[in-house]
Amino acid sequence: MTNSLFDDFDLRGLKLPNRVVMAPMTRARALAEVPDDLTARYYEQRASAGLIVTEGSPISREGTGYVFTPGLYTEDQVAGWQRVTDAVRGRDGRVFAQLWHVGRASHVSLQADGQPPVSSTSKASGDSAFAYLPDGTPGRVDASTPRALRTDEVPRVVSDFATAATNADNAGFHGVELHAATQYLFEQFLNSQVNDRTDRYGGHTVANRIRFTLDVVDAVVERVGADRVGVRLSPFSTVGGMPADDRTEETYLALADELSARRVAYVHVHDTSGFGADANSIGARLRALLPHLRGDGTAIILAGGLTRRSATDLIDSGLIDLAAFGRPYISNPDLVERFRDDIPLAPANPAHFFGGDAVGYVDHPAATNLSA
């Protein structure tokens, strides 16, 4: 097995010390929806990653779909994220903020004045949200039936993304990633089975399906520059009640061409099939699509069930440039060092994945501390 996972990488001028990416993971630890000292410690511990992509950060109250998620739309939140980026940069790390709007994957208890969530559609997902129970305690509830955005409201949502990108820049992030994957607002426009609109953002043509995503990309690029913008996609995903879409290839090939023309820094592909045990295990349709997502200088990140070996094989094959790991980073803050030194990975406890305090969050020791 080669050591290509530990080679450096030039991400449009941002020098990454290795090809390991910490994937975005919701941890629901921000009790006031503001990053705090625990948040800073959590990311600082993992700063040896070539690149960190933070947990999804809602761009507005409207975009929130989970309790205790740190946003990027108030001054306090920006100041909180500044503590995080200072901590990561203090360890010579690189970190992008993931900008998030969940669309219909929300609940009225999370929305201002109990309003319904907004989406491309008024169809409910049939999935759940991590929101507030009738007694005010957090828990799983059925996602609320959404309200379809009016055409004249869409520019406001685009503007919210642009403002959040500026906030991320002011907070000291190296860049931003748009969460256009796994059931959330972008996918609700991209999926022709969900998007039943008949306006210029409607699902009946590929140009209209991808228009909202491109409007946001353009607005964010104008604020922070294309070299500092990544886009996360999950073609063929059925997460969160998303139906299979026979127009997926058409949609994502067209989107890939447009992202390439805009010279974004990277496309971050989330393989939600659970595959990834070896270099040949990616779903056949996703494997065929990956080369088309690589634009002129656009890097490809792949996430989803990867191991050190499968990630290395995929990098060596030229199919991807960077490999993202999520769950292994929960209990292995020194994942890069463990991979490099062939140290077994510590298991994570699912009981501490979401919510809680420092336990299961910042108390996982590095392997060097265990042997000291």
Number of domains in the chain: 1
Angle between helices 75-90 and 37-45 (to 10 degrees): 30
- CATH code at position 61: 3.20.20.70
Percentage, residues of the chain above pLDDT 90: 92
Q: What is the pLDDT of residues 132-151, one digit of tens each?
A: 999 999 999 999 999 999 99
> Is the pLDDT at 270 greater than 70, yes or no?
yes
Confidence of residue 372 (pLDDT cuts 50, 70, 90): very low
- Compute the distance between CA of residue 153 and CA of residue 199 in angstroms, rounded to an integer: 12
**Domain around 126:** 4-371
Neighbour tally for 218: CB within 10 Å: 14
Q: What is the pLDDT of residues 93-126, one digit of tens each?
A: 999 999 999 999 999 999 999 999 999 999 999 9
| Mean pLDDT score of the chain | 95
Residue-level pLDDT at 282: 64
Confidence of residue 369 (pLDDT cuts 50, 70, 90): low
Catalytic center residues: 184
Alpha-carbon dihedral 327, 46, 92, 230, rounded to 10 degrees: 20
Pairing mode, strands 322-325 and 20-22 = parallel
> Is the pLDDT at 252 greater than 80, yes or no?
yes
Q: What is the pLDDT of residues 194-209, one digit of tens each?
A: 999 999 999 999 999 9
Q: Name residue 214's amino acid.
A: L
**8-17, 223-232, 243-252, 287-296: which range is least confident on average?**
287-296
* First-to-last C-alpha distance (Å) of the chain: 29
- Compute the distance between CA of residue 292 and CA of residue 41 in angstroms, rounded to an integer: 38
Residue pair 73/116 in contact by the 8 Å Cβ criterion: no
Length of the chain in residues, anyone? 372
> Is the pLDDT at 264 greater than 60, yes or no?
yes
Residue-level pLDDT at 296: 84
Residue-level pLDDT at 295: 82
Helix (H) or strand (E) holding 213: helix 211-224
- Compute the distance between CA of residue 58 and CA of residue 215 in angstroms, rounded to an integer: 18
Confidence of residue 278 (pLDDT cuts 50, 70, 90): very low
Q: Name residue 303's amino acid.
A: A
Helix (H) or strand (E) holding 220: helix 211-224
- Compute the distance between CA of residue 85 and CA of residue 69 in angstroms, rounded to an integer: 17
> Is the pLDDT at 69 greater than 50, yes or no?
yes
Q: 236 φ, ψ to 5°?
A: 75, 5
pTM of the entire predicted model? 0.96
Q: What is the pLDDT of residues 323-337, one digit of tens each?
A: 999 999 999 999 999
